[in-house]
Amino acid sequence: MSGFVSFVGSGPGDPELLTLRALKRLKQADVVLYDDLSAGSILDEANINATLVGVGKRAGRHSPKQHHVSRLLVDYAQQGGQIIRLKSGDPGIFGRLEEEIQALDKAHIPFEIVPGVTSASAAAAAASIPLTRRLSARRLQFVTGHDVTGVLPENLNMAALADPECTTAIYMPKRTFPILAQRLMDHGLAQDTPALLAESVSQSEENLTSSTIIELAVQLKKNAGSAPGLILFGPLALRNNRT
């Protein structure tokens, strides 16, 4: 008998943003294969007897290859028990979920997906802003800032990204945003379009920077830093500095 795999979204990192189902699965875990951004206090919620296996990937650091992660997942599941594949944010958003599902399907291992709070929603909440607005921001799009080689994808729909009436969330964006910002402006997006850089959202090191696409591009070209981040841009990407 094989085990059962739960792909669990850990949200942006604050344990209080875990869903009740995610928390229940962690308490039942025999093995937890966790992403780098799902470590720390999230793992404190896991079964104290669970085997914890780090399989995270971070830009600029030595990381396990995806085929190795998928193989580990299958190997642990074939030994039986409750296997948790803990992914940051929501498992289905830029988490290479499909590749791991395919590996489980090939090995005939059952699984479920437990959704989590994605970074774009957490960043907007931290900045006290909505992601949509009637009439002027009726569309929301999520885009990755780099491909598997670490560079800006060449086949991005620039017309859609340069839509001034859309809220855009760029995941893993910091190293490639200067190039993207120039392409956005080349496609007609105003250089003073609001942009929000959200780093380490929901963590003690959380940092939110309100800017414009051109100012943020200049800042990141000088120093992208190492903190995990997400960029929102569009008509709503202005931090609400409530008093």
Contacts of 24 (CB under 8 A, 6+ apart): none
The residue written with tokens 């085997």 in the block is 51
User: Which of these, 131, 132, 133, 152, lies nearest to 143 by C-alpha position?
Assistant: 152
d(CA 31, CA 46) in angstroms, rounded, equals: 9
Confirm whether 35 is a catalytic residue: yes
d(CA 185, CA 216) in angstroms, rounded, equals: 13
Confirm whether 14 is a catalytic residue: no
Establish how many alpha carbons lie within 13 A of residue 55's alpha carbon, considering only the half-sphere containing its beta carbon: 24
Question: What are the structure tokens assigned to 214, written together?
Answer: 């051109």
Please tell me which residue in 24, 30, 36, 57 is annotated as part of the active site: 57
CA distances in angstroms from 52 to 13, 66, 177, listed in the order given: 17, 18, 34
The residue written with tokens 């490639």 in the block is 176
Provide Rg for the chain, Cα atoms. Answer: 19
Please tell me which residue in 14, 30, 35, 192 is annotated as part of the active site: 35
User: What is the layout of strands, in order, in the sheet containing 194-199?
Assistant: 139-144, 166-171, 229-233, 194-199, 207-212
Q: Could you tell me which residues are beta bridge partners of residue 54?
A: 34
The residue written with tokens 């569309």 in the block is 139
Catalytic machinery residues: 35, 57
